[in-house]
């Protein structure tokens, strides 16, 4: 029997069916991580927050007894080849079950390299991104959204809430007024667009304006703060959340599987004055997954050959893994090499086993001085000192440089930081705590701990997300009101109305386009700089991914003439004080957006108004 996700509650009605007329009091915070999903439910009227948990058939804890409450759902989804159906599975594919379908996990970084709608439609087919999931396997980006949708559907059909009756949970999920989701600071708008598509397709809410996105580090901060609107927040059975406002400067460090994010928050004396402008963010794409790759390369693959028989443990065709030139630079993002190494390990069972050993060492050596591993006929011993000096120390050095840059940007002396909050599995490592105590001599340090890969409590970020509706001034509304996709669409629409193909010299000044956009209701004061970037040749990530992220796209797709045509020809060029538009390119991009919208739940014809922060 497969370990398909089961629930200990009766299946509630679909979320997009209103079970009864009532107040807009229920809000769902969803922490979508690379390796797992957590959620918490807020009753805005009572201020109570309820952690969500799941149950899985045949899933055993370390002690051998069934796990009663599973607060983090692994993002592992299986696609059945016979019907294309996606199912959340508690077991991970290991290549030994005889199953021929696709196991999909850890796909979060792919969701920012392109846009795709969840409604389907033939119009977008020629532009649908094809991503390279393993060395051999390329799949449509839409499959990853379908996998995410399958994960989200479990919130209404396979989950329970601690402290909330079964019937009440079903009613709440059927009456959600809003969903709040985390996203890594500095990530492209395309990531949030795709997440919103999956949320709408899963039926959690009906309209895009009911979805808000909040930086992960901000969500971690909100988990400790009282409600910003003066109301009371309560978490049944816990006094560790929503009860501590400390004026001064707070540092937040969030580090999970994919990214490490820092935030400096200047906390005013009056809690109700705290708003988004009090925050400064910085992030870099190095975290738990990169640490495991560095353990693989710097510890496992650096062993002398007399200590480790690579010919025995890797097939001859796979020995290129033992080639330092393909290894990423330790402690550095080095994304192109890391993506390629990840794709290789997904396709190679022996390399995947070595990466699993690296994961075991990363966790196990936090609690022991030495660990022994049996690899084939060999017994290998590793020490915590080796791990810290060869892998963790370069990470902490990079983290220190990033923090110094953030302190310089904000002008905050390190002595003024009076609190630090560390969240995420990677932020829980002991060497990071020791570094923080030395770096921040005047700070109270709050650090989450993870005794196993299966947390026994809801994530801090999920709690913070659930509390967002009670902090009406902390959502970056302008960023999502005027996304890159919306702004570019609006510029195209404006220019195509102003000029016809018969115009021989379709030119305009920046002030002229700003005036035309103002007449269309755009607040150009908050987007002037971004409009200038478009005019100077910038294209969003979903049209022109960064060089290192193009590795995530299938090589054949990258050479697809339809895809290349979207970015090959400049849309604008500048001559003296005027900008000239290529009308043929403008029409092509306009057609792309029209086709995208035909298969999407979201629209690009009006600015997005986030409703939950206005209520």
Give dist(CA 501, CA 14) in Å, integer.
48
List, for residues 423-467, the tens digit of each pLDDT value.
998 998 889 989 999 999 999 999 887 655 566 689 999 999 999
User: What separation in angstroms does the CA of 339 have from each of 50, 125, 288, 391?
Assistant: 37, 25, 14, 19
The mean pLDDT of 120-141, rounded to a whole number, is 85
Is the pLDDT confidence value at 59 over 80? no
- Per residue, the 3-state secondary structure of 339-392, as one string, reads HHHHHHHHHCHHHHHHHHHHHHHHHHCCCCCEEEEEECCEEEEEEHHHHHHHHH
Least confident of 184-193, 349-358, 590-599: 349-358
pLDDT surpassing 80 at residue 372: yes
Question: How many C-beta atoms lie closer than 10 Å to residue 134's C-beta?
Answer: 15
- Residue predicted with more confidence, 561 or 310: 561
What integer pLDDT is reported at residue 218 of this predicted model? 98
**Amino acid 230: pLDDT:** 79
Average pLDDT score, the chain: 88
Please give the Cα distance from 443 to 556 (Å, whole number). 52
> H/E element holding 515?
helix 510-519
Which sign, positive or negative, has the C-alpha torsion 300, 304, 308, 314?
positive
pLDDT digits (tens, 9 = 90+) for 147-185: 999 999 999 988 999 999 988 999 999 999 999 999 999
Closest of 12, 103, 31, 109 to residue 73, by C-alpha: 31
Give the pLDDT band (50/70/90) at residue 518. Answer: very high
Print the SS3 string covering 269-322: CCHHHCCHHHEEEEEECCCHHHHHHHHHHHHHCCCCCCCCCHHHHCCHHHHHHC
Whether the pLDDT of residue 402 is over 50: the answer is yes
pLDDT of residue 278: 97
In this predicted structure, the answer to whether residue 61 has a pLDDT above a threshold of 50 is no
Q: What is the pLDDT of residue 500?
A: 80
Percent of the chain with pLDDT over 70: 86
pLDDT confidence tier of residue 90, bands split at 50, 70 and 90:
low
Burial code (b: 16+ CB inside 10 Å, e: under 16) for 180-210 equals: bbbbbbebbbbbbbbbbbbbbbbbbbeebbb
Query: What ranges in 161-273 are assigned the alpha helix state H?
Result: 166-173, 189-201, 216-222
* pLDDT at residue 302, as a whole number: 80
Per-residue model confidence (pLDDT) at position 126: 82
Q: Is the pLDDT of residue 404 over 80?
A: yes
Where does residue 504 rank: exposed (0-12), middle (13-18), buried (19+ CB within 10 A)?
A: exposed
Q: pLDDT category, 306, cuts 50, 70, 90?
A: very low
Q: What is the pLDDT of residues 521-536, one digit of tens each?
A: 999 999 999 999 999 9
Q: How far apart are CA 324 and CA 173, in angstroms?
A: 51
User: Is 237 a residue whose pLDDT tops 80?
Assistant: no
């Amino acid at each position: 029997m497969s370990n398909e996700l089961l629930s200990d509650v009766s299946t509630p009605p679909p979320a997009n069916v209103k079970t009864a007329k009532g107040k807009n009091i229920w809000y769902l915070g969803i922490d979508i991580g690379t390796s797992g999903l957590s959620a918490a439910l807020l009753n805005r009227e009572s201020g109570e927050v309820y952690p969500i948990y799941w149950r899985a058939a045949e899933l055993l804890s370390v002690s051998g007894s069934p796990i009663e409450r599973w607060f983090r759902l692994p993002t592992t989804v299986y696609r059945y080849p016979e019907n294309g159906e996606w199912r959340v599975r508690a077991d991970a594919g290991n290549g030994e079950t005889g199953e021929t379908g696709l196991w999909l996990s850890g796909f979060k970084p792919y969701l920012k390299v392109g846009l795709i709608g969840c409604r389907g439609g033939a119009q977008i087919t020629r532009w649908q991104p094809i991503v390279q999931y393993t060395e051999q396997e390329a799949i449509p980006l839409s499959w990853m959204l379908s996998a995410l949708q399958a994960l989200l559907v479990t919130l209404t059909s396979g989950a329970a809430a601690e402290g909330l009756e079964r019937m009440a949970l079903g009613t709440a999920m059927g009456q959600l007024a809003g969903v709040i989701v985390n996203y890594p600071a500095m990530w492209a708008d395309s990531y949030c667009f795709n997440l919103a598509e999956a949320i709408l397709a899963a039926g959690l809410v009906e309209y895009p304006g009911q979805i808000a996105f909040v930086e992960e580090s901000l969500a971690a901060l909100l988990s400790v703060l009282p409600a910003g609107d003066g109301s009371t927040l309560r978490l049944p059975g816990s006094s560790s959340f929503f009860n501590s406002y400390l004026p001064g400067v707070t540092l937040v460090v969030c580090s999970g599987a994919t990214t490490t994010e820092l935030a400096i928050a200047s906390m005013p004396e009056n809690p109700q004055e705290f708003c988004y402008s009090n925050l400064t963010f910085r992030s870099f794409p190095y975290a738990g997954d990169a640490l495991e790759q560095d353990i693989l390369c710097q510890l496992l693959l650096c062993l002398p050959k007399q200590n480790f028989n690579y010919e025995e443990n890797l097939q001859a065709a796979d020995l290129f893994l033992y080639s330092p030139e393909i290894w990423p630079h330790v402690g550095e993002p080095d994304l192109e090499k890391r993506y390629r190494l990840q794709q290789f390990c997904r396709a190679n069972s022996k390399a995947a086993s070595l990466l699993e050993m690296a994961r075991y060492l990363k966790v196990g050596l936090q609690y022991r001085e030495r660990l022994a591993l049996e690899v084939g006929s060999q017994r290998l011993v590793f020490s915590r000192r080796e791990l810290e000096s060869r892998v963790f120390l370069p990470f902490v050095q990079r983290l220190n440089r990033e923090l110094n840059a953030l302190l310089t940007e904000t002008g905050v002396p390190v002595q003024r930081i009076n609190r630090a909050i560390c969240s995420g599995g990677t932020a829980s490592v002991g060497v990071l705590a020791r570094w923080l105590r030395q770096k921040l001599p005047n700070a109270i340090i709050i650090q989450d701990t993870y005794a196993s890969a299966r947390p026994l409590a809801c994530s801090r970020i999920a709690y913070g997300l659930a509390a967002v509706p009670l902090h009406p001034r902390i959502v970056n509304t302008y960023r999502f009101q005027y996304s890159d996709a919306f702004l570019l669409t609006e510029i195209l629409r404006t220019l195509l109305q102003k000029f016809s193909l018969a115009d021989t010299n379709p030119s305009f000044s920046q002030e002229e386009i700003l005036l035309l956009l103002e007449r269309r209701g755009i607040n150009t004061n908050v987007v002037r700089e971004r409009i200038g970037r478009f005019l100077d040749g910038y294209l969003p990530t979903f049209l022109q991914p960064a060089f290192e992220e193009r590795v995530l796209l299938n090589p054949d797709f990258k050479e697809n003439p339809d895809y290349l045509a979207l970015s090959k020809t400049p849309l604008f060029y500048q001559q003296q004080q005027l900008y000239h538009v290529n009308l043929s390119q403008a029409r092509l991009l306009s057609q792309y957006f029209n086709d995208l919208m035909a298969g999407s739940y979201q629209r690009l014809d009006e600015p997005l108004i986030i409703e939950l922060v206005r209520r």
